[in-house]
Structure 1
Amino acid sequence: MAAEQVLPAPKPLNQAPWFAPVRNIVILLVLWEVAGRFHLVADGALPSLTAIVERFWADRADYPAHVWSTLVSSALGFAIGNIVAVAAGILFVLSPLAARLFRGFNVTIFAVPTIAIAPILALTMTGISPRVTLAAMGCYFVTMTATVVGLTQIDLRSADLVRAYGGGKWDVMRFVQLRSALPIILAGLQVAAPNAVLGAILAEFGGGGRWGLGIYLLGSLGRADPPRLWSIGLVATAIAGIAYFIFGLISARVTGASKAVTMTTSLPPAGARTGGQWPSLAVAFGSIAVPLVLWWAFIKLLGVPEMIGKTPWGVIEYLFFLPLSQQAQTRLLDAMGQTLPITIVGTFAGLAAAFALSVSSRLVPNFTRALMPVALFSQTMPLIATIPLFVLLLGRGWLVTLIITISVTFFPAFITLAQGMKMTPRAALDLPKAYGAGAWTELKLVGIPAALPYLFAAARLTVPRALLGVMIAEWLATGKGLGNLLNQSRGYLDYGMIWTVAAASVVLSVALYQIVVLVERRVLANMGMRGSE
């Protein structure tokens, strides 16, 4: 008689993979309701969930037009930005010279604080164009970078096979690189989707108009109605979160059956990176010139009046060659002196929080899982919708700026660091275990040093976000720094200062980014590793 098959006993409910996240979310919602119901946080600045739902239901007739306007702008910007990003990524892989020439432009797009250019787009463009443009800019760098990484991290043997049959660069691109890059490109689209929503809302907030969640939020700030602010913020979060998870599902559906067999982590040869015979100095000069030429072309092609649209020379003239230039310099330097310190402190604090959370994810996994719902919430909630809520809770002092900066930087940094620690070779981790080392010793000797390149990548990622968070907090809450100077300049119709603040914030952000790159190269070179190119 055949032996009876013994089925494994079913796991208890509390061991199901979905149980812990659902439990944590329920606990969080209950605590939120209790704190709001009894005014335990900031004397009612945190309303109960039921009060938020009641306010949303009372205002339900207002939302369709606002939500539709934001969705249209976000969707158009998402489509345009990602089409340009994928095309640019393909161009940069096929032409290393183009990649080097557009490096300055790419870093500028990545580092530009979007709140700084929202008023400029509103001055120079009409209709929903500013919203679409800012949404597209929010998508470009993420998807372009994902495309380049996906197209370069391929199985070299497959490319060699295509070449052996007479295929050229485009054949390798079509048959090998694009197919290999699809999972990474889809991951980039997933991250870009909330960015498009944030870009559209920022443009609505800074550019005026009648419809849009940013406009609705701005119009509700002075009404002392926390439930309405929270309901608008949660609706914006829901839109961004749904977009994020939709592309997550598409990615899983399309690539779920795909498994990577081999992957190279090497960079292209040095000759390919420098553009062959082109002198490095000429390429570096071209990289700096491209953003300035595009800036000048933007003004001229749109036919913006000279009084409103300032070219690079117009900004220099405003700062140095006009009767009031000295006063403009003083105002700008004072504002930068207020913005820069809190940006640096917030960046370090955000990185420290991300580092602590990534270490805890290895040492105390259950604790990290308990925090993940809050972390995901902070990732998908548009920044412009978050800050008024922080102001309600913390007031308008420096603390609110610091907390906002930490909140917008720690989650992307945490994801980057956690990924680095997960990619540590198992064999390297087994060695200290063989000598009886504990989990902390294993991390200290192997995991953390191996994740050092990812720490610098997280720093490069968070510096521009930190400056953006500080400037929006200054605009809405503290009345100081570059954000407040930009807001005041809009009110005074001081177009020269608007363009100057935008240019200064971009230069400041790019400079901080490049400082991180230089430190990264020096530290990793001393350790025998390779930094960012």
Structure 2
Amino acid sequence: MSLNNTARFKAVITTLGLLLIWEIVGRFDLVAGGALPGLSEILIRLWADRADYPQHILATLYGSGLGFVFGNVLGVGAGILFVLSPVALRLSRGVNIAIFALPPIAIAPILTLTLSGMTPRVVLATLGVYFVTMTATVIGLSQADSRAVDVVRAYGGGKWAIMRLVQLRGALPSILSGFRVAAPNAVLGAILAEFGGGGRWGLGAYLLGSLGRAEPDRLWGIGLVATLIAGVSYLLFALLSRRFLGASRAVTMNAAIPEARNVGQSFLARALTTLGAFILPFVLWWVFIRALSVPDMIAKTPLGVVDYLFFSPAAHNAQTRLWQAVVETLPITFIGMAAGLAVAFLLAISTRLFPRVLNTFMPIALVTQTMPLVALTPLLVLLLGRGTSLTLWVTISVTFFPAFVTLAQGIALVPRSARDVPRAYGASAWQEMRMVTIPASLPYLFAATRLTVPRALLGVMIAQWLATGKGLGNLLNQSRGYMDYGMIWTVAVLSVILSVVFYQVVVMVERRVLKRLGMQTAE
């Protein structure tokens, strides 16, 4: 039996063992008095509810499918534009960071208020897809074979000829890897919009209607179906990559937005470009409101949010509520983010020191990666209750896997020759890891941190929204019930600002640390 077949066999055995443990624990109600049903019980309930699923699944697939197509068209088109025009990349930098840092839960109520029908689902799915595909496209196009580029230029080819004949072909593996990561994001976006009030049909609406019925087998069934859809969409593009391009193992994307160099630009030009990048998100926000002709009572422009929070008669009350929610949200966000990074770091190191750990861990990790947050959170409520432990578990579960994959990739790319030097002098595996591998992987550690920043805030807000009754997530939920549109827009804007600020702080620290160590930043 070959080494690969042996690894696959062990992975299958491990998965079957975990399923058997799940069945025993569920059948004997060993977790929270039956909050974790046995797998056979969940499957029996799925069969009993089989008539409910087709319309819900079709609605989710329709919204996520359209969002996936639109997001990828926009992402690939924007990636091509950014490579051809560095000025466009610099001007769009603020918009790109805002889209990356945008917690979907914050914008879902706004889309439901301002758009109708299936449109909120499609838009949220599109936003979830765009950044991943755009980043993958820019990275792929920027890594074109310089020799092939020189050949095209020698025969008189311009930018478009180089793009068509060299760059797009060379970028195809990277773009397909981006599609693979974007597919589950589209499903998550559609379900969040459904859960936020986006229609009668859809797995999110079905999950919302099933909460509070004391039927954990149904909730687990809905969660598994949502996970299956996201997982199949992920595996579909993994198979396409393997079929047409060979093995392509990337499962997450670097959170860095590729940087366009300011070569040849004057100080005034750089200042104007930076100012434009800062202003453009607010311009697009204003255009979005005006283009839809939404009443001012519902849709708030940037000036409307400022007026609501600082100059309206209810400003003081709004500030008090908002500050209290922020105080309840930020500490648990930092703790969850740190815990998620710590788990990811320890697991990434373990995969090098103890390779068998990876085979045991990956089935669980892939489930947590593909299971939509709104499906995962109610299940954790059944197991953990509605306290702080729930929020921490949700935050860790949604942050550790992308961070783990990024860190494991960085550790795997450390040159073998560099690792052999300390081993030649008698260093142990851990000493080699501490002296060589970990320092060499610092750029990937910072990339992992950038990935976890918005996901940590998203996880905390979803837990607060669905379960704990605290913080920004709960304030958003209450504001929807009270039709306090000003607060809905304020929470959405503040959550984006917080994520962007955290992201930029990580970038600044990364540049300073890596510059001091003589390393090149990821941007």
Q: TM-score, normalised by structure 2?
A: 0.96
1:473-488 aligned at under 5 Å gives the runs 473-488=463-478
258, 266, 271: which one pairs with 2:262?
271
Larger Rg: 1
Deviation at 1:523, TM superposition (A): 0.7
5+ residue gaps in structure 2? Answer: 250-257
Note closer, same or farther for the CA distance 1:234–1:477 as it changes in structure 2 (3 Å cut): same
State the match for 1:351 in structure 2.
341
More moved, 156-165 vs 144-153: 156-165
1:160-199 aligned at under 5 Å gives the runs 160-199=150-189
1:68-217 aligned at under 5 Å gives the runs 68-217=58-207
201, 225, 228: which one pairs with 1:238?
228
412, 417, 421: which one pairs with 1:427?
417
State the match for 2:279 in structure 1.
289
* 2:209 equivalent to 1:219: yes
* Aligned structure 1 segments of 4 or more residues deviating by more than 3 angstroms: 267-272, 274-278
292, 295, 299: which one pairs with 1:302?
292
> Which amino acid is 2:234 matched to?
Y
Conserved 8 A contact 1:100-1:275: no
State the match for 1:229 in structure 2.
219
State the match for 1:363 in structure 2.
353
State the match for 1:7 in structure 2.
none
1:311-322 aligned at under 5 Å gives the runs 311-322=301-312
Conserved 8 A contact 2:242-2:248: no
35, 53, 65: which one pairs with 2:43?
53
* 2:376 equivalent to 1:376: no
Conserved 8 A contact 2:35-2:383: yes
Deviation at 1:56, TM superposition (A): 0.7
* 2:480 equivalent to 1:503: no
327, 332, 357: which one pairs with 1:342?
332
Deviation at 1:17, TM superposition (A): 3.0
CA-to-aligned-CA distance 1:445-503 (integer Å, 9 cap, x gap): 11111110000000001110000000000000100000000000000000110101100
Deviation at 1:427, TM superposition (A): 1.6
> Which amino acid is 1:289 matched to?
I
> Which amino acid is 1:124 matched to?
T
Deviation at 1:39, TM superposition (A): 0.8
Note closer, same or farther for the CA distance 1:217–1:303 as it changes in structure 2 (3 Å cut): same
State the match for 1:398 in structure 2.
388
> Which amino acid is 2:18 matched to?
L
CA–CA distance in structure 1, aligned partners of residues 356 and 413 of structure 2: 20
CA–CA distance in structure 1, aligned partners of residues 268 and 208 of structure 2: 50
Conserved 8 A contact 2:177-2:248: no
Note closer, same or farther for the CA distance 1:269–1:144 as it changes in structure 2 (3 Å cut): closer
Q: TM-score, normalised by structure 1?
A: 0.94
Sequence identity of aligned pairs in percent?
63
More moved, 46-55 vs 424-433: 424-433
* 2:446 equivalent to 1:460: no
Conserved 8 A contact 1:97-1:275: no
CA–CA distance in structure 1, aligned partners of residues 5 and 282 of structure 2: 57
CA-to-aligned-CA distance 1:294-343 (integer Å, 9 cap, x gap): 00000000110111000000000000111110110111111011111111
State the match for 1:522 in structure 2.
512
CA–CA distance in structure 2, aligned partners of residues 524 and 415 of structure 1: 21
The SS at the match of 2:211 is helix
Conserved 8 A contact 2:64-2:125: yes
Deviation at 1:22, TM superposition (A): 0.4
Deviation at 1:430, TM superposition (A): 1.8
Conserved 8 A contact 2:86-2:260: no
CA-to-aligned-CA distance 1:177-230 (integer Å, 9 cap, x gap): 111100000000000000000000000000241100000000001101000000
CA–CA distance in structure 2, aligned partners of residues 382 and 420 of structure 1: 27
CA–CA distance in structure 2, aligned partners of residues 308 and 370 of structure 1: 50
**Superposition CA RMSD, Å:** 1.7
Conserved 8 A contact 2:241-2:247: no
Conserved 8 A contact 2:75-2:131: yes
CA–CA distance in structure 2, aligned partners of residues 93 and 208 of structure 1: 36
CA–CA distance in structure 2, aligned partners of residues 486 and 180 of structure 1: 44
CA–CA distance in structure 2, aligned partners of residues 45 and 494 of structure 1: 35
Conserved 8 A contact 1:96-1:275: no
The SS at the match of 1:16 is helix
Conserved 8 A contact 1:486-1:501: yes
> Which amino acid is 2:456 matched to?
A
- How many equivalent pairs are there? 515
Deviation at 1:50, TM superposition (A): 1.1
More moved, 18-27 vs 154-163: 154-163
* 2:270 equivalent to 1:250: no
CA–CA distance in structure 2, aligned partners of residues 11 and 303 of structure 1: 64
Deviation at 1:121, TM superposition (A): 0.2
CA–CA distance in structure 2, aligned partners of residues 30 and 36 of structure 1: 10
